[in-house]
Chain A
Amino acid sequence: MNAPAQSSARNPFGGEKNRLRSADQDRILACAHDLGNGLVQSDFHVPGMHCAGCLRKIEKGLENLEFVDAARANLSTRRVTVSWRPDAASGVALSDALTDLGFENTLFDLGDFAGDGGDKTAKRLALAVAAAGFGAANIMLLSVSVWSGADETTRQLFHLISGLIAVPVVAYSGRPFFASALGALRVGRLNMDVPISLAVLLALGMSLYESLTGGEYVYFDASVTLLFFLLIGRTLDHMMREKARGAITRLSRLAAKGAFVLEADGTSRYVPLSDIEPAMTVLVPAGERIPVDGTVGKGSSDLDRSLVTGESLPVPIGVGDAVEAGTLNLTGPLELRVTKTAANSFLAEIVSMMEAAEQGKATFSRIADRAAAIYAPAVHLVALATFIGWMAFGSGDWHTALLVAISVLIITCPCALGLAVPIVHVVAANRLMKHGIMIKDGAALEKLCDVDTIVFDKTGTLTMGTPRVADQIGSCDSGTAGAIAALASQSTHPAAKAVAAHFGDNTTTRTVTEVREVPGSGISALIDGREARLGRAAWAFGILEEPEKTANVAEGMDGGDVVFACRDGSAIGFALKDRLRPAASETVKALTADGIKLMILSGDNERAVADIARSLGIDDYRSGQTPADKIRTVEALQADGRHVLMLGDGINDAPALAAGHVSMAPSTGSDVGRLAADLVFMNERLDVIPFTRDIALRTDRLVKQNFALAVLYNCIAVPLAVFGFATPLIAAIAMSASSIAVVANSMRLSLGTRFAIDSTSLDGSDSKSRYLKRPVSGPAPKPTAEQPA
């Protein structure tokens, strides 16, 4: 199978490979951190590492190189950090060494380092948890002594020490809540942090006053323990979100953030995307994405436009044709004359459409905020009523009345309410992440519960986006099959890959020489010395000595289908079809059974869309849709009061994704698509949709149960507090008990669901991803293309 491939002698750009490598060196150096002492630090993304053996192999392998000072692999982020001496060797050697060790790798671009800001928040939260934990433990130690009956002076000493610990701890650990509460109040709204902050501060203030005046009851333990519990919930929530965000951004880091610009003197250099100007000439090797809009100046190729327009089949392009940023150059190197800067390109237009759609959307108020808006005023009214009641009917002494009123506020502090949502969401996000579904926005799960309409894109969303051989016209023996497989494996064109996969189990070894890839036509080579072609029908038939023998094959051929022909033999046709995602029809059935309206919006041609729609049983479909059409349809549906879940992968879907009530995108899609979506799934299977919806509905149910538990707790605790029985001990027991009940209830989400999906095809790295760029420099160059004569 792995026949030696011989590169063609002629190269349209002459010496292209060496120039690219020297430019790669520039790119690596440009992205490196200077550590001083002649050392620099480079980061590589290595998606393939997954165990202790890989870590060790990479670190040992790199450290054995003379010019490498140290190498450290991070399994969580799949990143390898290397410090090395740039004067002793080239950075390309590092990438080559990693490739030789068996790990595909890409360089981290300059901008990637800026994205680590989220880490700091996580650290700040962890420090706040630690401080609150320290405070809670020590204050509790002193409080327990008081509750077990410490006498007058000892009690006062313990109260004062507790206060000394509590004040700095609350001031430090409470900041996340105070900041959020202030932010909400400033815009005239109430969120859950308002009653929380108020209770914590009131408890602290009242306890300070009491301990200084020798009072009996102080609530330092309540206020600090409360912060501790709530901070744990918040930190877990943040870490979860950060993990999901990291997994998603890791996908986009594989895309190029610059391009090779051809200078007037014939040399090329790597230029960041933002510095590329119109009229520059950009080199795009086969297998890379087009970085900016332009016209082809030299070369020809096939272009995979599926992410941009939704067309499922690659289109041939030649000199003078316009190409859009974001399309994938498949078969031949291209020289592009840039027509627009990156900031004005097609992609930028899409981004501005996305922003417009985002702004047009009604603001969604989260369930916790809605609950807080009812809860906070209610609690404050009860406290006020308590104060008035004690003044009127109680002792009439304002000090006692105030103490009781504050104790009502403390005991009703929504500790359980504050945990009700984040804990369930953490469990849900964890569960989804195990199945390769990342939640970008916490509100997404709440929004999913309202969904009554699902709009699908076709190419890459309902389908895999890669064609498969659906039918073989004409038979072949195993020898011919081996020859076809050997030839097909020489190309990265999706059609050739489909044919190669079709004969995947054929292991006949063939010698393939003089491989030529002819853009727009196909691939030709000498197989064991016999000339053979695989490609478009008319071109492949061209070499046949007796074409009349293959009339039956020619009849059955369609535009996108390919033919294998051997000069002295016969021809075999392969009908290609995009294949549906696994479990697509089950998904459609399950969703229809749940009463959800389904719809397809595709940029592809009528026939391809109708075909898919019919095979899935979706009646409502539209073909030939532009991004503007898609957004209009989604907005019209929502204007009718429907809640749309938009699913799409392409650049053309991005505005509709932003417009939808909630949106999902596959990880194999475009950067912009993933950016616009609320959820990203790395699973191939389409039943992630009912699964996610099921989890969302259960999350909603559990959140509501948690609220009910919190209300029940208040029904018991509030009367106690109102009548003045809420001693610090009772408050501590009641508040902890309610928090534990809520957390325990939330854990139930990790138990079974109605849908079980297969998680075997998962890997955060998704090695089959269409987005995986070739390594910075591979050791085995693909056969370079030759211009058609």
Chain B
Amino acid sequence: MTNLLLLIPVALGLGLLGLIAFVWSLKSGQYDDLDGAAARILEDDNI
């Protein structure tokens, strides 16, 4: 039972972290130009 008390918050926390990361990437416009992102990977110097 005690390990559950630790594991459940950890599992939820990781999920939440993923959700927050997605919301952040969406809000910061990383999905605005999907075609461009696919093309830019071919550039060497633009990191």
Contact = CB atoms under 8 A, between A and B. Distances in A.
A362 interface: no
Nearest to A129: B22
B32 to A, nearest CB: 7
Interface in B17-35: 18-19, 22-23, 26-27, 31-35
Contacts of B15: 134, 137-138
A51 B42 CA distance: 10
A76 B39 contact: no
Contacts of B33: 74-77
Contacts of A56: 43, 46
B12 interface: yes
Interface in A155-170: 157, 161, 165
Nearest to B41: A52
A138 B43 CA distance: 39
A73 B35 CA distance: 11
B11 A74 contact: no
Say what secondary structure dominates the interface of chain A: helix
Given A131-B19, A137-B15, A138-B11, A75 B43 contact: no
A70 interface: no
B18 A134 contact: yes
Contacts of A76: 32-36
Contact of A130 (B23, B42, B46): B23
B26 A73 contact: no
B43 A73 contact: no
A486 B18 CA distance: 64
B19 A141 contact: no
Contact of B23 (A51, A127, A161): A127
B5 to A, nearest CB: 10
B39 A134 contact: no
Given A52-B43, A127-B23, A154-B4, A134 B32 contact: no
A134 B35 contact: no
A734 interface: no
Interface centre among A75, A161, A165 (most CB of B within 10 A): A75
A126 interface: yes
B42 A52 contact: yes
A75 B22 CA distance: 22
Given A56-B43, A56-B46, A134-B16, A127 B36 contact: no
A154 B7 CA distance: 13
A76 B11 CA distance: 37
A589 interface: no
B14 to A, nearest CB: 10
A123 interface: yes
A776 B10 CA distance: 58
Contacts of B41: 52
B31 to A, nearest CB: 8
B8 interface: yes
Contacts of A165: 12
A154 B2 CA distance: 11
A664 B41 CA distance: 38
B26 A126 contact: yes
Q: Interface extent on B, as a size class?
A: 20 to 34
A55 interface: yes
Interface string A152-186: 00100100010001000000000000000000000
Given A52-B42, A52-B43, A154-B4, A73 B36 contact: yes
A51 B26 contact: no
A141 B11 CA distance: 9
Nearest to B27: A123
Nearest to A131: B19
B12 A138 contact: yes
Nearest to A134: B19
Nearest to A145: B4
A74 B16 CA distance: 31
Contacts of B11: 138, 141
Given A131-B19, A138-B12, A55 B26 contact: no
Contacts of B36: 55, 73-76
Interface in A64-112: 73-77
A123 B8 contact: no
Contacts of A131: 19
B9 to A, nearest CB: 10
B8 A161 contact: yes
A55 B37 CA distance: 10
Contacts of B1: 154
A242 B12 CA distance: 34
A77 B35 CA distance: 9
A161 B33 CA distance: 38
Contacts of B19: 130-131, 134
Nearest to B42: A52
A127 B26 contact: yes
A81 to B, nearest CB: 11
Contacts of B31: 126
A55 B36 CA distance: 8
A138 B8 CA distance: 9
Contacts of B22: 130
Contacts of A161: 8
Contacts of B43: 52, 55-56
Contacts of A154: 1, 4
Nearest to A137: B15
Contacts of A77: 33
Contacts of B23: 127, 130
Contacts of B46: 56
A74 B32 contact: yes
A262 to B, nearest CB: 41
Contacts of A52: 39-43
A75 B39 contact: yes
Contacts of B8: 161
A52 B34 CA distance: 12
A65 to B, nearest CB: 18
Nearest to B12: A138
Contacts of A130: 19, 22-23, 26
B6 to A, nearest CB: 14
A73 B39 CA distance: 11
Given A126-B26, A134-B19, 18 more contacts: A52-B40, A52-B41, A52-B42, A52-B43, A55-B40, A56-B46, A74-B33, A75-B36, A75-B39, A76-B36, A123-B26, A131-B19, A134-B18, A138-B12, A141-B11, A154-B4, A157-B4, A161-B8
Interface of B: 1, 4, 8, 11-12, 15-16, 18-19, 22-23, 26-27, 31-36, 39-43, 46
Interface of A: 51-52, 55-56, 73-77, 123, 126-127, 130-131, 134, 137-138, 141, 154, 157, 161, 165
List the 7 shortest-distance A-B pairs measured between CB atoms, nearest first: A75-B36, A52-B39, A75-B35, A52-B42, A74-B33, A134-B19, A76-B35
7 contacts: A52-B41, A55-B43, A56-B43, A76-B33, A76-B35, A127-B23, A165-B12
